[in-house]
Structure 1
Amino acid sequence: MPQFRFHSEEATAVRRSLLVRGDLRDWVPATCALVAEHLRHHGIAPNGFPFARWHALPAGVIAVEAGFPIAARITGAGLIEPSTLPAGPVLAGWHTDPDQQLAATYRLLDEWLETEGAIRAGDSWEIYHDLPACEGLGVRIEVVQPITFAHATTARR
């Protein structure tokens, strides 16, 4: 069952790339390991689990960033850059079934959005609660989708 909540803005340390969707499964764990090593080298503790967020571009390309939330914003240093996860209302759903495709979790979120009259308000992100082992994405994945309510958009016009 999806959960509605408010997400506070989070500073993050990320690596960015342009990929095709099929490359995400290998790129995310390797990138999170790279970001984790960068943070360790600079004495910065992650402030949560690793995540990935992407935006679809034309021709099947996606702009992706992956890394960790951190307590304070970093300055850009080569491959690792500062970013943020936005504040605002979000809908979160959990993927925990190794036999089920992650797409089923996204469908549950879409059904909730339709039922509740809410709409997407930006790109979602996935939080990988199993990833610190960096052996794959795991099965405990939290999908977070920023949202707004259609009636709130209509009322402002």
Structure 2
Amino acid sequence: MDKSLSVTQSFVKLPKVFKGNKHYKGLSSDAKIVYSYSLDTLQLSKLNHASDGTWFDYEHKQHFIFYSVVQVMEDMECGKQKAINIRKELEKYGLWEMKSQGANKPTKIFVNEIIPSQAPKKPLRYTVKPRKEVLGVTVDGKELTDYAEVF
């Protein structure tokens, strides 16, 4: 057995709700990947900075991340215009909300929760607690009844 394969690998989850959901039919696969990266970054920010509130915007009552055009270019191995288009696409579909802080300051990105029963242009706070209800979405022939099953 090759010992190099035993190295721990890290993975990013891609939400299953993208599969077969009519609201996200036009969303590019690149945007889905960047959204998954941003969810991962948001979770790390929440874990690492939970006590000091560094990554929490008290005005919006929501955690945020910084995800620059350059970072998108590096993660997706693409050019500047494509990275800009991916960021705009995520905002168009309501998956991100970008708030400029002014000149020479990074843009705050609020990562919004995906709930299959909502239209994508109605961004929801990431801190919304899931409700138990029939979602009206089927994945692999099974109807989802809990938001936790989406991820």
Under a length normalisation based on structure 2, what TM-score does the superposition of the two structures give? 0.28
Structure with the bigger percentage of strand: 1
Higher helix share: 2
